[in-house]
Amino acid sequence: MSTKTDPTTAPAAPTPAELGVGMRFSIHPHTDDFVGVILGALADAEAAGLTDGLAIRTDEVSTYVGATTVPAEQRLAAYLAAVVAAASRRSGGGHVVAHVLLSRGCPGEVTCDLGVTGLPGAAAVELEPTGIRAVAHWSLYPLLDGGSDAGDHMTHIEAAIARATARGVASPAHYATKLVGDVAEVLATAVDAWAEVGAVVPHVVTHLTVSVGSPSRATN
């Protein structure tokens, strides 16, 4: 995978599928026509060509999206931003919430037998602004093992929050960090933080509850 090292001596970087880079998300239009909005938004993102390199499977609770090719983080973020923006448009700017779980380092369903050497970094994702304001609660979980040399979990979390704060979108809340900004910037902040921790911690998960069009805004 790398042109900088001799492939006969250096192990290839693990693929997104080998690392288990992917997400689960659910999208909740608060309207009687939620089925039409959800199915329409998923179809819009597919029609825009944003499902390339992704394995997508929807079940009763959420949609699983596994990245099969690089750039995995960019593909996941662009697809997610498109689905959220499409759902907002299709509900006429109404209240839509997405819940997202991004995971890397646990490719199987139960165990986490990575069997890879080396954790690849990822370029920061680049998303076009959607023009839609989002407010989100974001949590990041570096899943260390006792006895590892990757430090304390809170050190990684605090560094990620500091980077998000420097982007101008973050403020603290209990059990989460509040992110406010364009849907694209909110998603990019969480995806970048997750990928950055993933370059040093083998198993890292982040959760994000993204709200657009909330009628509560005026009172908070």
Contact pick of 15, 51, 62, 68 for a copy of itself (by CB under 8 A): 62
- Tracing tokens 């997405």 back to the chain, one arrives at 98
Contact pick of 43, 151, 168, 199 for a copy of itself (by CB under 8 A): 151
- Contact at 8 Å (CB) between 64 and 108? no
Count of chain residues binding a copy of itself (CB under 8 A): 64
| Residue 102 main-chain phi, psi, to 5 deg | -105, 130
By beta-carbon proximity to a copy of itself, the closer residue of 15 and 31 is: 31
- Report the distance separating Cα 123 and Cα 2, nearest Å: 15
Q: Give the range of 5-13, 44-52, 70-78, 154-162 binding a copy of itself by CB under 8 A.
A: 154-162
Tokens of 210: 């993204």
* Among candidate residues 101, 109, 59, the one with its CA nearest the CA of residue 80: 101
- Tracing tokens 């657009």 back to the chain, one arrives at 212
* Among candidate residues 124, 122, 134, the one with its CA nearest the CA of residue 83: 134
- Report the distance separating Cα 214 and Cα 134, nearest Å: 9
- Residues 6 or more apart whose Cβ sits within 8 Å of residue 179: 134, 135, 136, 137, 138, 164, 169, 170, 186, 189, 190, 208
Residue 173 is a binding residue for a copy of itself (CB under 8 A): yes
Residue 74 is a binding residue for a copy of itself (CB under 8 A): no
Half-sphere exposure at residue 214, Cβ-oriented, CA atoms within 13 angstroms: 16
Residue 18 is a binding residue for a copy of itself (CB under 8 A): no
Q: What's the min distance (Å) between Cβ of 138 and a copy of itself? A: 10
Residue 211 is a binding residue for a copy of itself (CB under 8 A): yes
Q: What's the min distance (Å) between Cβ of 37 and a copy of itself? A: 9
Contact pick of 14, 22, 120, 181 for a copy of itself (by CB under 8 A): 22
Residue 6 is a binding residue for a copy of itself (CB under 8 A): no
Q: Give the range of 74-82, 120-128, 187-195, 200-208 binding a copy of itself by CB under 8 A.
A: 200-208
Residues that bind a copy of itself (CB under 8 A): 22-24, 26, 28-32, 34-35, 58-62, 64, 66, 95, 97, 99, 101, 103, 106, 109-112, 135-137, 139, 141-154, 158, 161, 172-176, 178, 203, 205, 207, 209, 211, 214-217, 220
